[in-house]
Amino acid sequence: MTRRRLPIGVQTFRTIRDTDSYYVDKTPWIGRLLDEGGHYFLSRPRRFGKSLLLDTMKELFEGNEALFRGLAIHDRWDWSVRHPVVRLSFGSGDFNEPGYLTKKVSALLDGVERAHGIRTGYDTAPERLFRILEVLHERSGQQAAILVDEYDKPILDPLFGGPRRQDGGPIRSDAARANRDFLRGFYAAIKEADAHIRFSFLTGVSKFSKVSLFSGLNNLKDITLDRRYAAICGYSETDLDTVFAPELPGLDRKKVRE
pLDDT one-digit tens code per residue, 199-257: 999 999 887 554 566 665 667 889 999 999 999 998 888 888 888 888 888 766 665 55
Bridge partner list, 5: 21
Enumerate residue ranges in the chain where pLDDT < 50: 165, 210
Q: Which of 80, 87, 83 is nearest to 12 (CA)?
A: 87
Contact status, residue 162 vs residue 150, Cβ threshold 8 Å? no
pLDDT one-digit tens code per residue, 123-132: 999 999 999 9
Distance from C-alpha of 73 to C-alpha of 26, rounded to nearest angstrom: 9
What pLDDT score was predicted for residue 210? Answer: 46
Contact status, residue 159 vs residue 98, Cβ threshold 8 Å? no
Report, in angstroms and rounded to the nearest whole number, the Rg of the chain calculated over CA atoms.
19
What pLDDT score was predicted for residue 214? Answer: 64
What pLDDT score was predicted for residue 255? Answer: 58
What pLDDT score was predicted for residue 102? Answer: 95
Q: Quick check: pTM over 0.85?
A: yes
Domains and CATH numbers, the chain: 25-234 (3.40.50)
